[in-house]
Amino acid sequence: MIDKATIERIFAAADIVEVIGEFVSLKKTGQNFRGLSPFKNEKTPSFFVSPSKGIFKCFSTGKGGNVVTFLMENEKLSYPDALHYLARKYNIEIVEKEETAEEKELKNERESLLAVNQFACQYFSEVLYSQEGKAIGLSYFNERGFREDTIHKFQLGYAREDKNAFTRTALDKSYKSDYLVKTGLSIQRENQSYDRFHGRVIFPIHGLSGQILGFAGRVMRTDDKVAKYINSPESEIYHKSDVLYGLFFARQAVLKNDKCYLVEGYTDVISMHQAGIENVVASSGTSLTLNQIRLIKRFTHNVTILYDGDEAGIKASVRGIDLLLEEGLNVRVVLLPMQEDPDSFARKNNAQAFANFILANETDFITFKTNLLRGDAEKDPLKKASLITEIVRSISVIPESIMRSVYIRECSKLLDVDEKLLYSETARFRRNRYEQKVKQADVRDFSAHADTSPTPRIEHVPDKYSAEKEVIRLLILYPEKRFVIDAGEGSETETTVLEYMLNEIKQDELEFHHPVFNRLFQEIITCRDQNGLISDQLFIKHPDETLAQAVVDLITSAYDLSKIWKRRENYFETEEMRLKEIVPEAILAFKNEKVMKLLKETEADLRHAQEQKNEERIQALQVKYIVLNNLKINLSKGLGDRIIVTPS
C-alpha cells in the first residue's frame, strides 16, 4: 500500500504532457496539446491534454482522466502499478507496508503474469553471466559486437540447456505453475513441465511502459529440426501482432526525429541502437500488421523501411507498404547493399555514415516498387500491365487525394502511361474497395465497437439527472468563488458558491439520486467538514477511478478544454463572471427536478388510492399534489417562466 503523502508527491512531480508525450505525438494548440487518440484509430486528432488542469480527454472514445488514469487505460496497469511507474520515472522513493495474504490474493491475473515475466527477465539476465551463460550466450552476443551497456539496456539473457532449470527456480520462488504455463515460459505435457526457451539466448519484448510482455529466444545449437527463433505464445498480456520490438526504447527518438525506421529482426534494432540510430523498431520477423502500423502512427507519420539485398524476401514483404499507405503514412524505402542487413551494416558504420547512406539511397514507394518489379516486365506487355496494376492498386489506398495525384503523375512519367488512364484505374480500385467495405459493414459485429471501459460514463446522463449534474459541476469548478445575492428588503450579501448551494440543498433536504453525483456530493461535504480545500484537482487525482473520470467528463466540453466564453455585444463574458445568475438558476432547476419527480410519484400514488377507494388517502394526496403543483409554478417563475412539462 502506498501512503497518501507519497501519492501526492508523485502527482506533484508528474508532468502529464511529458508522460503522455511518450505514448502520443502531441502538438501545442493554445494552452493545451492535441494528438491522435491512442485508444482508437482516427485521422483527425480528437485527443487533448490540458497541462493547467492536469487532465487528458479523448473525444472520440469519451475516455479522460489524470496522468495515472492514462497509464491505467493505455498500458492496462493497476492503480498501484501506474503510481510505481511514475515514481520510477521521477525518482520518488516508495516505502510500502507489507501486503497481507488477502491483498496478495486479490492481485489480478494480468499483474501476476507481468510479475512472472519480470522475474524471468531478471533470471535470464543473471544466467547470462553464469559459467554456462558466458560460454554460450554472452559469447554469442560478443560475436555480434554487442557492448556491455547494450546488453544491459535491452536486458538480454540466456536460458540454461537444462530443460526445466527455470521452471524449478520459479516454483522454488513460489511462482504458480499455472502462471508459468500461461505466459508460455513453461510447457506442460503429461504432468511434466519444461522450459520453452532452454538453450537459447533471450530477447525480452517490452510494452510501451517498459513492462516485459513476452520473450523471443534464438537457438544456440545447430539443429535443422528446431526453429531458429521462437516467441512467447499469445496470452492475456502478449499479442505479437500488437507489439513492435524496440518501440519502448525508440519512442523519444522517433518523436524527436519525426521519423521511424522499420526493420525485420531483433538484432537489427539492437545494432542500430548501438550505432547511435535509436528511432528504429522491428516487426519481429512477421508480416507487418495494422495494429503495429497504428502504433507507429501515434508517434510519427514518416516511415522508412530498410530492406536487405534479398530480392525474394523483399517481394514477399512488400505488402506492408500498402498497409502503411492506407493508414496515411509517408513511406520511404532503402535497399541496403547486397549481402548486408541492418544488423551487419550498422556494425560496419557509425550513425553518421548510416544516416548519410539512407539520405542518399531512400526513395519513395513508387520508384522502389517500379524498380523492384520492372525487371521482368521490360519486354513483356502483359507483365508490364501487371506492374502498372500493382502500383495503381498501391496508390489507390492512399487516403489523401493530393498525395494520390502526386504519385499518379510520378507513375505516369516512370512507366510512360497516360495520366488519365491511371486516374481512371485508381478511381475504379477505390470504388471497388468502398463497395467491399459497405458489404462488410452490413454484416459486421457491432459489439466489437462497443465501449468496453469499466468506468461509468456521465457525459450523456439521462435528462432526469441533468440538474444534479450541473450543481455538481459548479460545486467542483467554483466552490470558493464569491458572488453577490439578493438578501431581501433591497439589500445584498456576498457568499461563495459552496456556501450558497449547500445551504439551499440542506434547507430543502434535497438528495442526489445519480450514484456518481451522490458520491461526489458526499466527498465535497466530507472535505468541507474537514476544512479541506475543495478543487477540481482534488477529484482529478482521486484514487477512485470512477470519481476521477466523472470529474474530467464534467469539466471538459466537446470543443475545448478551456472555459466557455459567451459574446455580449462588444465584449466577451466568461462563465465565472456570470455566477450570480448561473448558480441560483442551477439550484432552482435542481429543486424543480425533484418537484417533478415528487409530482410524478404523487400522481401514481393518487391513482392507486383511487383504485383502492381510500378516501382519506385520496384527500391527503390531493393536498400534497396541490402544494407541489404550486411549488412547480413558483419555480417556473424563478426559472424565467419557462414551460415545465410533467414527465409521463
DSSP per-residue letters across 29-53: ETTEEEE--SSS--SS--EEEETTT
Asked if 15 contacts 50 with a C-beta cutoff of 8 angstroms, the reply is: no
Q: Phi-psi region for residue 209, left (φ > 0), alpha (ψ -120 to 50) or beta?
A: alpha
Average pLDDT, the chain: 82
Could you tell me which residues are beta bridge partners of residue 200? 219
Q: Is 639 helix (H, G, I), strand (E, B) or coil?
A: coil
Which domain CATH number covers 151?
Answer: 3.90.980.10
> Is 95 a member of any domain?
no
Of 385, 388, 394, 377, the residue nearest 412 (C-alpha): 388
Q: Which of 240-249, 348-357, 538-547 has the lowest mean pLDDT?
A: 538-547
- In sequence order, the 6+-apart residues with CB closer than 8 A to the CB of 439 are none
> Is 99 a member of any domain?
no
DSSP states of 243-287: --BTHHHHHHHHHHHT-EEEESSHHHHHHHHHTT--SEEE-TTS-
Question: pLDDT higher for 85 or 642?
Answer: 85
Confidence of residue 279 (pLDDT cuts 50, 70, 90): very high
Confidence of residue 41 (pLDDT cuts 50, 70, 90): confident
**Residue 268, pLDDT above cutoff 90:** yes
Say how far apart CA 433 and CA 399 lie, in whole Å: 12
**Residue 148 pLDDT:** 94
**Residue 447 pLDDT:** 38
pLDDT in tens, 145-156: 999 999 999 999
Which domain CATH number covers 281?
Answer: 3.40.1360.10
Percentage of residues of the chain with pLDDT beyond 70:
84
CA atoms within 13 A on the CB side of 80: 14
Say how far apart CA 296 and CA 260 lie, in whole Å: 7
- On whether both 267 and 207 belong to a single domain, the answer is no
The full length of the chain comes to: 648
- On whether both 207 and 67 belong to a single domain, the answer is no
pLDDT in tens, 414-457: 888 888 888 888 888 888 877 776 665 454 443 334 344 444 55
- The pairing of strands 565-568 and 491-496 is unpaired
Confidence of residue 259 (pLDDT cuts 50, 70, 90): very high
Total domains in the chain come to 4
Stretch 567-584: mean pLDDT: 70
Question: How is residue 501 written as a grid cell?
Answer: 448551494
Say how far apart CA 532 and CA 542 lie, in whole Å: 14
Q: Which of 83-87, 372-376, 628-632 has the lowest mean pLDDT?
A: 372-376
Q: Which of 160-174, 200-214, 278-292 has the lowest mean pLDDT?
A: 278-292
**Residue 376, pLDDT above cutoff 80:** no
- On whether both 178 and 251 belong to a single domain, the answer is no
Say how far apart CA 605 and CA 623 lie, in whole Å: 13
pTM of the predicted model as reported, rounded to 2 decimal places = 0.64
pLDDT in tens, 203-248: 999 988 888 999 999 999 877 678 889 999 999 889 888 899 999 9
pLDDT in tens, 324-352: 888 888 999 998 888 888 999 998 888 88
Q: Which of 36-40, 105-109, 365-369, 444-448 has the lowest mean pLDDT?
A: 444-448
> Is 449 a member of any domain?
no
Could you tell me which residues are beta bridge partners of residue 483? 495
**Residue 187, pLDDT above cutoff 80:** yes
**Residue 92 pLDDT:** 86
List C-alpha distances in Å: 313 to 284, 292, 341: 15, 20, 12
- On whether both 566 and 527 belong to a single domain, the answer is yes
**Residue 641 pLDDT:** 46
Which domain CATH number covers 25?
Answer: 3.90.580.10
Burial 302-322 (b: 16+ CB within 10 A, else e): bbbbbbbeeeeebeebbebbb
The CA-based angle 349-354-358, given to 5 degrees, is: 155
Name the strand (E) or helix (H) holding 67: helix 67-75
> Is 346 a member of any domain?
yes
Other beta carbons less than 10 A from residue 543's beta carbon: 13
- On whether both 426 and 283 belong to a single domain, the answer is yes
Could you tell me which residues are beta bridge partners of residue 188? 193
Backbone angles phi and psi of 307, in degrees to 5: -110, 145
- The pairing of strands 55-58 and 64-65 is antiparallel
pLDDT in tens, 76-134: 777 888 888 898 888 888 866 665 655 555 457 888 899 999 999 999 999 999 999 99
End residue of a domain, out of 89, 119, 138: 89
* Surface-to-core class of residue 568, CB atoms within 10 Å of its CB (0-12 exposed, 13-18 middle, 19+ buried): exposed
List C-alpha distances in Å: 373 to 24, 330, 362, 418: 36, 21, 17, 19
- On whether both 175 and 273 belong to a single domain, the answer is no
Q: Which domain holds residue 113?
A: 108-238
- On whether both 216 and 262 belong to a single domain, the answer is no
